[in-house]
């Protein structure tokens, strides 16, 4: 009996220790940090300002064609534009280029401005473009010469390709993206103080 009583007391003591041990608490704390890195965006749109296709165009005509570029991405960007006139013919809605018709009779009337820097067949905008900024006009109009436009051009269509490119202004990304080693003279250089 004494043995049973001793075993009972031991079991009771162990149970009490477990209950007390289970309710003991230490001051503790834990935290987690959730770090997110969201990349900025480089995006542009070409604005041709209400341009409509022209039909029945004549040698000697000058037709309005206003072109500017707007930055719509979140990053500060460099912008450049290439303008390429091409003669061809329309087959329904499809344009088919005619390499036998030179474009020497076409004049792209670039706005006389120090805001666009001509270099290597491109026009570079003079400053870094931030979101929502639109460039000054680059192209104002297109002229077809009277002299030099022979009967070979009758019924043909002139297409002016406007190719705009943008690249982040930081980290000299223009070197890889544009394939140039330095910005043309007159184009603003990115620095640590340049807002993005």
- Inside any domain, residue 152: yes
pLDDT for residue 107 is more than 80? yes
pLDDT for residue 195 is more than 90? no
pLDDT in the model for residue 145: 95
pLDDT in the model for residue 142: 95
Give yes or no for a contact between 144 and 59, defined as CB atoms under 8 angstroms apart.
Answer: yes
- Inside any domain, residue 128: yes
The pLDDT tens digits for 37-59 are 889 999 999 998 877 777 888 99
Q: Give the separation between CA 118 and CA 81, rounded to whole angstroms.
A: 9
Give yes or no for a contact between 61 and 144, defined as CB atoms under 8 angstroms apart.
Answer: yes
Place 78 in a pLDDT band, splitting at 50, 70 and 90: very high
Q: Give the separation between CA 43 and CA 77, rounded to whole angstroms.
A: 9
pLDDT in the model for residue 186: 94
| Residue 80: partners with Cβ closer than 8 Å, 6 or more residues away | 122, 123, 124, 125, 164, 165, 166, 178
Give the torsion through C-alpha atoms of 144, 150, 156, 159, to 10 deg. -30
| Residue 64: partners with Cβ closer than 8 Å, 6 or more residues away | 51, 140, 141
| Residue 144: partners with Cβ closer than 8 Å, 6 or more residues away | 57, 58, 59, 60, 61, 105, 106, 153, 158
- Inside any domain, residue 58: yes
The pLDDT of 79-96, averaged and rounded, is 94
The pLDDT of 15-27, averaged and rounded, is 62
- Inside any domain, residue 174: yes
Q: Are strands 94-97 and 106-110 parallel, antiparallel or unpaired?
A: unpaired
- Number of other CB atoms surrounding residue 4 within 10 Å: 8
- Inside any domain, residue 133: yes
Range of the domain at 57: 44-178
pTM for this predicted structure: 0.80
pLDDT in the model for residue 22: 54
The pLDDT tens digits for 112-152 are 889 999 999 999 999 999 999 999 999 999 999 999 899 99
Backbone φ and ψ for 23, nearest 5 degrees, come out as -95, -5
pLDDT in the model for residue 82: 96
- Inside any domain, residue 51: yes
- Inside any domain, residue 35: no
Structure tokens at 17: 């220790």
Instruction: Report the number of distinct structural domains present in the chain.
Output: 1
pLDDT in the model for residue 1: 58
- Number of other CB atoms surrounding residue 172 within 10 Å: 15
Counting residues of the chain whose pLDDT is more than 70, the rounded percentage is: 85
- Inside any domain, residue 140: yes
């Amino acid at each position: 009996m004494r043995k049973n009583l001793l075993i009972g007391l031991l079991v009771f003591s162990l149970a009490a220790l477990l209950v007390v041990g289970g309710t003991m608490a230490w001051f503790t704390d834990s935290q987690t940090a959730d770090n997110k890195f969201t990349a900025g965006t480089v995006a542009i749109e070409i604005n041709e300002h209400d341009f409509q296709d022209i039909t029945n165009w004549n040698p000697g005509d000058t037709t309005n064609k206003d072109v500017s570029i707007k930055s719509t991405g979140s990053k500060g960007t460099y912008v450049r534009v290439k303008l390429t006139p091409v003669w061809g013919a329309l087959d329904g809605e499809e344009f088919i280029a005619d390499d036998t018709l030179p474009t020497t009779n076409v004049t792209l009337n670039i706005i006389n401005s120090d805001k666009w820097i001509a270099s290597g067949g491109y026009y570079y905008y003079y400053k870094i473009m931030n979101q929502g900024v639109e460039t000054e006009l680059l192209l104002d109009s297109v002229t077809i010469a009277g002299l030099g436009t022979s009967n070979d051009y009758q019924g043909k269509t002139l297409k002016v390709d406007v190719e705009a490119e943008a690249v982040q202004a930081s980290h000299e990304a223009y070197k890889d993206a544009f394939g140039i080693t330095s910005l043309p003279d007159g184009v603003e250089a990115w620095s640590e103080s340049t807002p993005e």
